[in-house]
Amino acid sequence: MNQVLLLSIVLLPLLGGVLLALMRRAEKRAADTAFLSVLALEAAAVTAYLCLPDATVRLFSMTDALTVSLASDGISRVFLAVGAYGFLLSGVYATRYMARGERQASFYGWMLFSLGALCGMDLSQNLITMYLFFEAATLLSMPLVLHDRTEESIRAALKYLFYSIAGAFLALLAIFVLGRFTTTLDFAAGGTLTADAAAHRTLLEIVVFLGVIGFGAKAGLYPLHGWLPTAHPVAPAPASAALSGIIAKAGVLAILRLVFYIVGADFLRGTWVQIAWMSLALLTVFMGSMMAYREDLFKKRLAYSSVSQISYVLVGLFTLTPSGVTGGILHVIFHACIKICLFLVAGSVIVNLEKTRVSDLVGVGKQMPITLFSFTIASLGLIGIPPASGFVSKWYLALGALDTGIPVLNWLVPIVLLVSALLTAGYLLPITIRGFFPGKDFSAPPKTDEGTAVMWLPIAILGAASLLLGVCSGPLVDWIFTLVAPLV
Amino acid sequence: MIAFFVNFPLFSIVLCLLCAVLCALLKGKAARIVSLSLCGVVAVLAFCVLVYGLQTGAATEYPMGHYPHPWGNELRFGIAEPLVALVFAVVMLLCLIGGKQQLDVDLEPGKRNLYYVMCDLVLVSLLALAYTNDVFTGYVFIEICTIASCGLLMIRQIGRTTLAATRYMIFSLIGSGLFLLGVILLYGVTGQLLMPSLKAAIAALWEGGQYRTALLSAMTLMTVGLAIKSGLFPFHLWMPDTYAYSTPASAGILSGLVSKGYSFLLIKLVFGVFGTDVFYGSGVSNVLYVFGALGIIVGSISAAREKDVFRMIAFSSAAQIGYLYFGIGLTPALGMLAAIFHLLTHAVTKPLLFLAAGQLGEAAGGRLRHTWRGAAHRNRTAGLMFSLGAFSMIGIPLTMGFVSKYRFALAAFERPTLLVVTLIVLAVSTVLNAMYFMRVIIGIYTPVPERRTRMTLREQRPFAVSSLLLALLNLSAGVAAQPLVLLLERGLSLL
């Protein structure tokens, strides 16, 4: 029973994608219905799964050493839940957002394919399976970036593809080498390195370093981050939300699995690799915030913000301490919630007010009060003002960094996090301030224009969730600490 | 019953020769039917030989004409030989089926049967190269193969193919000339032509330290000759025009099969004539490794710079041949296994790419990349098949290409001194592959406003069937590679 459910979580979106591919000529209403029912079913399946015990499904073997099999554990539950619920809310929103354009069915189809690939990644039992779905996630989410088929979007998609594939092959290099120096490529908390691995420490350190850089391409980690601010904003807003909030986290998951389940934290603790990773992630945090602060295009500003925020997560993972990793995983959840909300707001602004630049956003609060109010709540979460969710995750991130005992970095991390939080406030709050307090020159519009409930409700839900998850984070934090305990 | 299968290699070779003569007398359509059935029959025969090899579990030496050992001519087959012959026959059949549309256009009405004569001759030489146990027979069929391949190329009479064929002829003749010189040297030193006797003689001479220079030169000459003929860097310059301007069926056969026949002969020579100890001890293998690596990188870079899609695919072939020699040069066990697996991968993938490119080129009405924009919307099947072939070339999981790459990476660990270089070459070439193939894929899937007529499945049934089968071969071997790998492992131990 469990196995059937496990399999159906992966297959349902993929089959749904095929269904929508076949419905290309169908009316939009029919496509909407099919899309939403698949997403709802998927969310229901994931919800059911959260409460059920672990299971394993062995699918097939390419060769004896390369098996493709699915299994679930606590980490996969976290990522599955983020993915399924995030896609459901963006999906509901998309039915309205996409109403003006054409080729909705194909857009929905690619959304579902991406979700299927992500679920496959979440449930992978070994590195090979995960790599397979990682590649699939790249290829299947690329059409989302391509959706508008403009010159700009094609360029962006190419850039996305090039960075992702280059990254994936760096990771493949690590997988090949690790295949030789591990007892098994199946994930096991604490790593599976063989006894003679220590003799080849330098080689292993280099390839693992490169592997993380490679997987980090998906998460926008410096130096393979360049595609993210180009590709994410080009997609339609619900897809940008999914890309930034959820699909980019595939890189985080891949790094998590590689570092903690194959190599093992003990092997890396205190090495140059850890220091280099932390420095790169910190650099990305700071640089992303800086770029976001200077950017005027709304969606692009949010994309830069994603670059910065996802690297918060990575900083947490790279501390290799219980608090740091917990903070990172918490930030995965919170950032998904917040960033989806922010991108959907940007979409609403585009659809209802036809404005794409931040500098044009004056008096939005008068026209779209609920939307902008949710935006503000979510922004507070991203900045990390207590009791909003971002505060909790950043708290543990800072604790984790202080625990590392690495000179300089252990106090530099909290400082950079603080500076970046200030910058975050700097690039998000002016939108709120000028939205609600446009000044004397602004003539209020005759009536509010939020779009239908299909548009503002997901935004409001996500905004509220970003606050509530922070206020009632106690049980969540405890649960994640128990998940992380065997890893570090 | 199974004992009778031992005669099948000889039968298949004689049958091909007979059919070649027959095709010369028949009209075009009848010749086509004969050739297609021939490929089918040869495939079945090869399969029977494979079953025989698996049954006996040993290599069989098959003397022809009952002359005793040092004088007669012999065939020799275990598991790898019939497997390779099987793949060659099947792929050739699929190439001829899939390229039918362009063949109808490219072949002059009066000369159609001649094309099939050439096909039969190519097939017979491939079979002979796979099965022979005699280096001179090997040389004879190398020459037959050269002439027949030129025929396949020349049959499409545009200026550029004539030029390409001339260039191909020159390179090929240099290659076979060098090979012949090597054979003569070996014969002069040892007085043998049959592979087992040669191997024993060479081992004895090498052990005693006699004729070092002569042996080394012979080995180098034969290796380089075969390398030139299969297009190893820096002798790959005949490739782009040869593959790019011939009709898709010929391009598939030439790139997928002919160059592989020579490489397979080299693999046979390494095990059956030079002996792995001598070959890997002498350093010739290292030269192959270096030029293989250079070929991979240079081929990929040239492909990335190429605007003509057909030439791009041809340059990618140069890179793939590089992989083959790279593996052969790496190590005798895992490296060889990777090389021979890659040989099969490429034999299955490249024809698929050329056939699909032929269809897409027609849909696009041009050869250059920018004219291909949106071509996949006009011909969906071809677009899909092209993408699949490209994925296999890049090495996306679940395709044969991925397993190839994986085998190369495994082989890298067998030689720790070269580990880093090997891995870097693999990584760089993969990224380059991804770059130039994905660029084309995105191009062909970019919609263009003007609506040209769409090619339906029914209008291209031969292509659809053959490309689908090639794709299935590729995917099934990619998803469940273990049986194939085991088969090749056993085959290598019998070579």
DSSP string, A40-68: HHHHHHHHHHHHSPP-EEEEEEEETTEEE
State residue A71 phi and psi, 5-degree precision. -155, 160
CA dihedral A257→A260→A263→A264, nearest 10 degrees, is -170
Is residue B63 domain-shared with residue B124, that is, in the same domain?
Answer: yes
Cβ atoms within 10 Å of B113's Cβ, excluding its own: 21
Contact list in B for residue A139 (CB cut-off 8 A) is 396
Confidence band for B450, pLDDT divided at 50, 70 and 90 = low
Buried-exposed string A155-182: b where 16+ CB fall within 10 A, e elsewhere: ebbbbbbbbbbbbbbbbbbbbbbbbbbb
In a domain, B275, yes or no: no
Give ∠ CA A313-A318-A321 in degrees, rounded to 5. Answer: 100
Q: Are residues B394 and A132, on separate chains, in Cβ contact within 8 Å?
A: no
Domain count, chain B: 2
pLDDT at B298 over 90: yes
Mean pLDDT to the nearest integer, B470-491: 90
Q: Are residues A61 and B482, on separate chains, in Cβ contact within 8 Å?
A: yes
pLDDT at A121 over 70: yes
**Predicted pLDDT of residue B263:** 93
pLDDT at A262 over 70: yes
**Predicted pLDDT of residue A6:** 87
Give ∠ CA A391-A394-A400 in degrees, rounded to 5. Answer: 145
Taking the CA of residue B470 and the nearest CA in chain A, the distance in Å comes to: 18
Look at the block and give the residue holding tokens 């071809």. B382
Is residue B227 domain-shared with residue B331, that is, in the same domain?
Answer: no
Is residue B307 domain-shared with residue B168, that is, in the same domain?
Answer: no
Confidence band for B19, pLDDT divided at 50, 70 and 90 = very high
Is residue B63 domain-shared with residue B189, that is, in the same domain?
Answer: yes
**Predicted pLDDT of residue B482:** 87
Candidate from A446-450, B34-38, B328-332 with smallest mean pLDDT: A446-450
Supply the DSSP symbol for B368: B
Confidence band for B220, pLDDT divided at 50, 70 and 90 = very high
Partner residue facing B423 (CB), from A63, A158, A176: A176
Residue range(s) defining the domain that contains residue B82: 1-264
In a domain, B271, yes or no: no
pLDDT higher at B312 or B457: B312
In a domain, B17, yes or no: yes
Note which residues in 476-495 of chain B have CB less than 8 A from chain A.
Answer: 478-482, 485
**Predicted pLDDT of residue A166:** 83
Mean pLDDT to the nearest integer, B223-236: 89
Note whether A66 and B407 are within 8 A (CB): no
In a domain, A146, yes or no: no
In a domain, A451, yes or no: yes
In a domain, A46, yes or no: no
Is residue B259 domain-shared with residue B350, that is, in the same domain?
Answer: no
Mutation target to probe the A interface, by most A beta carbons within 10 A, among B406, B428, B484 is B406
In a domain, B170, yes or no: yes
**Predicted pLDDT of residue A446:** 64
**How many contacts does A have with B, using Cβ atoms within 8 A?**
78
In a domain, A419, yes or no: yes
Distance CA B446, CA A326 (A): 43
In a domain, A203, yes or no: no
Average pLDDT, chain A: 88
In a domain, A375, yes or no: yes
Q: Does ipTM exceed 0.85?
A: no
- Alpha helices by DSSP H, listed for B446-481, are 461-479
pLDDT at A326 over 90: yes
**Predicted pLDDT of residue B348:** 94
Which chain B residue has its CA at the smallest distance from A151's CA? B446
A203 part of contact set with chain B, CB < 8 Å? yes
In a domain, A223, yes or no: no
In a domain, A159, yes or no: no
A193-244 pLDDT per residue, tens? 888 888 888 889 998 999 999 999 999 898 888 889 888 888 888 999 999 9
pLDDT at B46 over 90: yes
Q: Are residues A169 and B396, on separate chains, in Cβ contact within 8 Å?
A: no
pLDDT at A350 over 80: yes
Q: Which two tokens stand for residue A39?
A: 């997403």
Domain count, chain A: 1
Look at residues B235, B264, B293 and tell me which one is the last residue of a structural domain.
Answer: B264
> For B203-257, what is the HEC assignment?
HHHHHHCCCHHHHHHHHHHHHHHHHHHHCCCCCCCCHHHHHHHCCHHHHHHHHHH
Mean pLDDT to the nearest integer, A76-83: 92
Q: How far is CA B351 from CA A263, A373, B6, B30, in A?
A: 41, 60, 30, 24
In a domain, B274, yes or no: no
Mean pLDDT to the nearest integer, B75-82: 91
A131 part of contact set with chain B, CB < 8 Å? yes
Partner residue facing B447 (CB), from A64, A149, A169: A149
Confidence band for B321, pLDDT divided at 50, 70 and 90 = very high
Closest CA to B272 of B184, B203, B330: B203
**Predicted pLDDT of residue A478:** 92
Is residue B80 domain-shared with residue B178, that is, in the same domain?
Answer: yes
Mean pLDDT to the nearest integer, A185-192: 88
pTM (2 d.p.)? 0.84
Q: How far is CA A236 from CA A148, A250, A360, B218, B494, in A?
A: 8, 20, 20, 65, 59
**Predicted pLDDT of residue B452:** 63
Q: Which two tokens stand for residue A448?
A: 């509010």
Residue range(s) defining the domain that contains residue A422: 269-488
A479 part of contact set with chain B, CB < 8 Å? no
In a domain, B389, yes or no: yes
Most confident segment among A314-318, B99-103, B209-213: A314-318
Cβ atoms within 10 Å of A234's Cβ, excluding its own: 26
Confidence band for A409, pLDDT divided at 50, 70 and 90 = confident
Mean pLDDT to the nearest integer, A78-94: 92
Is residue B222 domain-shared with residue B334, that is, in the same domain?
Answer: no
Mean pLDDT to the nearest integer, A74-89: 92
